[in-house]
Amino acid sequence: MSASPRVVIIGAGIVGTNLADELSSRGWNDITVVEQGPLELAGGSTSHAPGLVFQNNSSKTMTEFATYTVNKLLSLSKDGQSCFNQVGGLELATTPERLADLKRKMGVMTSWGVESRIIDADECEKIYPLLNTGKLTGGREVLGGLLIPTDGLALAARAVQLLIERSRERGVTFLGSTTVTGISQWGGKVTGVETSSGVVPADIVVSCAGFWGRELGKLVGLDVPLLPLAHQYVKTTPLQELQGVNDLPNGAQKPILRYQDRDLYFREHGDRIGIGSYAHRPMPVDMEQLPRVGAEEMSDHRMPSRLDFTLEDFAPAWEDCQDLLPALHATQIEDGFNGIFSFTPDGGPLIGEAPELSGFFVAEAVWVTHSAGVAKAVAELLTEGRSRTDLHGTELSRFEKVQTSDDYVSETSQQNFVEIYDVLHPLQPKESPRDVRVSPFNVRQKELGAFFLESAAWERPHWFEANRALLDELPAEWQAPEREPWAAMFSSPISAAEAWKTRTAVALYDMTPLKRLAVNGPGAQELLHRLSTGNIAKKPGAVTYCLLLEHDGGIRSDVTVARLAEEDFQLGVNSNVDFDYLRVEARKQSAADPAKWVHVTDITGSTCCIGLWGPLAREVIGKVSSDDLTNDGLKYFRTKEISVGGIPVTAMRLSYVGELGWELYTTAEYGLKLWDLLFEAGREHGIIAAGRGAFNSLRLEKGYRLWGTDMTTEHHPYQSGLGFSVAKDKVGFVGAEALAARKEQPAEKVLRCLTVDDGTSIVLGKEPVYVGGVAAGYVTSAAYGYSIRKPIAYAWLPAAVSEGDAVEIEYFGRRVAATVSAEPLFDPGMERLRG
């Protein structure tokens, strides 16, 4: 028996080889990499990737992956040459909207710790003399750019060879020209990889198969939601201007260049320019039609991931290229191809373990840009049980089942291709497919003029046009300042009226999309006791707000646990990732001790939920229910079965908006009736339906965190202001030991509540926060606080920053003064909730 588990990595592209390197550097010594192509040039996406590494990303995780890749490739060298050419990265703006977007992106880069600066058109030209400084077609011109000096070019193929060499020296076995034909398994665990030359035994299999990932997944019944798409890349004939400038054939000195207003990017290849285009129609790839290339025929020009160039798709882009870089008029397209790579429904990579097959991991839909960072995260996941980087946006299991279907993956991934370089608002919804998941109240919501945005394929109302008339009655002190155009997008002044009604009368909120799990069986209490920070072993009727932690104390979710009966619990969780975690843990527990079996079911779609909240909530429900819902009849954070006009309802007394009232659950078929009964009963009290715009503001006023935005696995409860949700004296739960140690150590960063001093500047999230003129943190959630009459921003800041301190938030390059405030901002005495 070897000291470390037997690992088989499928694919020797940039991800697989980085993973072999990361694992072997951590001392794992039984690793085999299986590659269908020849090891010298495997023929997947890595083999043709142009290697541009832009670190700029709205996701902190993705930027971290890219930055790690930059640093690793810089350090990976042989014969005095590294695997990274740090020429810098330049993104151009030729429209005012793009320039504004670049300013925003610069802010995000500052938030994520990457140096960047906005430069004017003259400096763009100085740095990139080939640029057209006059008018472009359509009357546009270069207005400026975002320069990131640490970006550059990955020498991906060279990196792969050096990583193979280095891992081989550490004992990793590489099997080239070996096709995977199956995955052996036993008892829900992987046992090996079946290949064209026999079975390689394995305890852990990591599929790093890139755009073959969906096919690989099928071998184990796993729907890997990625779509192979072709994307055009060309090289020009030599440019006069580049004669004798760069090393041939691939040397480069000028920054990698993005011209997003025309969906194009550029790099130097010696005296030629390489051009990538997203300007063409999406070209989904039929995997049956891939070029079949034998090992001996494989070359830079012939490989499975290279489809024939379709000049007609490139022709319009070529005009734009010549327009931007007039020197290209003297050149021709010398070499072009349609290169295959992976897209996903939300553009992120896919990292994680298959819920139905223990030991089968995926690290796919990863670009060269993020490859080493992803490999490091996977290596941490395997060797330590968790990654230091927050992976929630990259988890394989983040998608709902419907989102992994062929149709959904195909449509959304193609849409992501089309939008890849668009200026996208953080709330911008997909246009299609929509109305995939709708609550039973959807018809009424539509009648009320709901404006819907989509999340996890659910339609969620953000405000209701029916409430617009309330703006005429809105008291002056509730009126919110006007937003600048960007912050105003996907937002409405109507939310002010909805917040007002919630705080002063009563409102209905559709809580159906909040993921709900039933946890049942004689082992239910034990499972939840072990996995959560809460004291959940209370009598039936108790609801507990608590956390699920990683072993190192990082927060993997915050949940509500309602004990409905001795062996029946209902959980409110954050995403499908929580469901997979709990059901996998439940399966393990049931197998280990059948007397402690426990079953976890996703009941989200079969049930629905209305939040009935506001000071008049009790008057409303009293008209349609004879159950005792007085303060004593159902205390705060308690649950019981009630009847609402004959409909069986589980009422939970809690509120994410911080008002008196209940979450009212029933099964889907009664939903519409429940809505109608409550609406009718509430009419005389001025009841309204309210949406997420108001909801988000109200919860921030109350200081309620949103997992995944305000805190993630990178944060522990104490620094997140959630120490109260760790049960006192509780031991023996996942993360307990690490937490005990962390409690003693002062945290470096803490989550703080800021209010904006001018009372009017509304920010959106991810903006950098300056302390004493130095970038020191970033905004998580932000909203206008209608009841407290100031914009609110939560932010991660150094622990030394304390209440009352002045800080600045940078928004579109402008500094906005803000103050660290005591929280919660609203009802700190809990009079409303407990009243």
- Give min distance, CB of 596 to ligand FFO, in A: 25
Q: Is 69 in the site for ligand FFO (CB under 6 A)?
A: no
- Give min distance, CB of 781 to ligand FFO, in A: 11
- Give min distance, CB of 652 to ligand FFO, in A: 6
- Give min distance, CB of 832 to ligand FFO, in A: 11
Of 185 and 604, nearer to ligand FFO (C-beta) is 604
Neighbours of 130 (CB within 10 A): 18
Which residue type, as a one-letter code, is found at position 384?
E
Burial degree of 571 (CB within 10 A; 0-12, 13-18, 19+): buried
- Residue window 502-531: x/- pattern of binding to ligand FFO, with contact defined by CB under 6 A: ------------x-----------------
Q: Is 656 in the site for ligand FFO (CB under 6 A)?
A: yes
Of 387 and 560, nearer to ligand FFO (C-beta) is 560
Q: Is 654 in the site for ligand FFO (CB under 6 A)?
A: yes
Among 533, 560, 650, 713, binds ligand FFO (CB under 6 A): 560
Distance separating alpha carbons of residues 134 and 500, to the nearest angstrom:
52
Q: Is 710 in the site for ligand FFO (CB under 6 A)?
A: no
- Give min distance, CB of 706 to ligand FFO, in A: 6
92 to 131, contacts with ligand FFO by CB under 6 A?
none
Which neighbouring-strand residues pair with 163? none
Nearest to 634 by CA among 610, 657, 663: 663
Distance separating alpha carbons of residues 328 and 260, to the nearest angstrom:
18
Of 353 and 578, nearer to ligand FFO (C-beta) is 578
Choose the catalytic residue: 265, 408, 794, 811: 265
Handedness of CA 43, 45, 46, 51 (dihedral sign): positive
203 is a catalytic site residue: no
Q: Is 704 in the site for ligand FFO (CB under 6 A)?
A: yes
Query: Which residues have CB under 8 Å from 218's CB, separation 6+?
Result: none
Among 89, 521, 523, 572, binds ligand FFO (CB under 6 A): 572
Q: Is 657 in the site for ligand FFO (CB under 6 A)?
A: no
Distance separating alpha carbons of residues 619 and 642, to the nearest angstrom:
16
Q: Is 718 in the site for ligand FFO (CB under 6 A)?
A: no
Q: Is 701 in the site for ligand FFO (CB under 6 A)?
A: no
Choose the catalytic residue: 48, 223, 231, 670: 231
Q: At residue 43, what are phi and psi to the nearest 5 degrees? A: 95, 5
231 is a catalytic site residue: yes
Which residue type, as a one-letter code, is found at position 544?
T
613, two tokens = 């909240």
Nearest to 781 by CA among 707, 675, 673: 707
- Give min distance, CB of 704 to ligand FFO, in A: 4
Distances in whole angstroms, Cα of residue 793 to Cα of each of 283, 351, 498, 831: 42, 31, 20, 24
Of 558 and 602, nearer to ligand FFO (C-beta) is 558
265 is a catalytic site residue: yes
Q: Is 823 in the site for ligand FFO (CB under 6 A)?
A: no
Query: Which residues have CB under 8 Å from 267's CB, separation 6+?
Result: 50, 51, 52, 153, 252, 256, 257, 273, 274
Among 663, 701, 767, 808, binds ligand FFO (CB under 6 A): 663
Among 259, 463, 478, 545, binds ligand FFO (CB under 6 A): 545
Distance separating alpha carbons of residues 35 and 53, to the nearest angstrom:
25
Q: Coil, strand or helix: which one is 150?
A: coil
| Contact yes or no for 155/111 (Cβ under 8 A) | no
Of 250 and 532, nearer to ligand FFO (C-beta) is 532
Question: Can you give 62-125 as a three-state secondary structure string?
Answer: HHHHHHHHHHHHHHCEECCEECEECCCEEEEECCHHHHHHHHHHHHHHHHCCCCCEEEEHHHHH
- Give min distance, CB of 426 to ligand FFO, in A: 18
Q: Coil, strand or helix: which one is 400?
A: coil
38, two tokens = 């020849």
Choose the catalytic residue: 101, 323, 558, 580: 558
Q: Is 408 in the site for ligand FFO (CB under 6 A)?
A: no
Residues that bind ligand FFO (CB under 6 A): 514, 545, 558-560, 572-574, 637, 654, 656, 663, 704
Active site residues: 231, 265, 558
